[in-house]
Structure 1
Amino acid sequence: MTPRRKKRLAIILAILIGVAGTVGLTMYALNQNMNLFYTPSELVNGKPDGTMPHVGERLRIGGMVVEGSVKRDPDSLKVSFDLKDIGPTVTVTYEGILPDLFREGQGIVAQGTLVDERTIEAFEVLAKHDENYMPSEIEDAMNKGHNADYDYETHTMKNQE
């Protein structure tokens, strides 16, 4: 092999290694910043495809705030509340100012880290904007296992006689 070919081969190999390293680091960064959406039932029982979140994973969870479950610390901005869809409840802890629209019986989405099997430490809480609006992921999850005869847009039972 001539010195010219060796030099070309070395340059091509260096470029390929650089591109592979860049792609690998990009994939790693994207994987670290991915927030998967779960409902309380999916968090406890797993998604239909069998995936379960692990402790320390960042995720988003959506559901309805359980009536009477909001507990506020009088000395700080710490608050904890339970979320429920159709199955088990999950506890969310949050330190900060909650949105103005946050209340019991309200649909919310929280972003945070899974602390244990049924506890999320949230760093952001979002309340729904409108009385008739429900995030599509929550509505779909509730329609699957919940009473499919309930119309979430009109808040009435379908096919009533």
Structure 2
Amino acid sequence: MKTLIVYYSAYRKNTEKIAECMAGQFCGDLVHAKDYNENDVNNYDLVGFGSGVYNQKMHPSIFKAIEKSNLQNKNTFVFSTSAVGIKKYNNDAIKLLLDKNAKVVGSFSCRGFFTTKILDIFGGTAKGHPNNVDFKNAEKFAEKIMNEI
């Protein structure tokens, strides 16, 4: 199954690490959202969209990539990294994909190291993440999707 993963990762490259892990499992291609061309999806059976969480939302470039793409009946998935690692941050992207008549076949989230000047005092939050357990969970997520499609 030909897979494309569109991601945005800037701060600590947490999302990029997870995207690379998933791409390895899918034997898929990676493209940073800033380099994404909406025509790219035409050549793929499965398209993943992932981002770090910024102010409790996925990065705007991910929403822009989804909005400008023809994803009707396309198998898609969403993933994110955040200080807390909860899937609720994926919900807006999932809703947009469903509005575009895409098939959402999965959602994944894990923790990613985050710090600010205030949190620096405590060494940040989710230090060491993503870690080997997160990578193993990302691989299992990708494997589950491959088995279900």
Higher relative contact order (CA 8 A, sep 6+): 2
Higher strand share: 1
TM over 0.5: no
Q: Which has the greater radius of gyration?
A: 1
TM range (shorter): under 0.3
TM-score relative to the length of structure 2 = 0.28
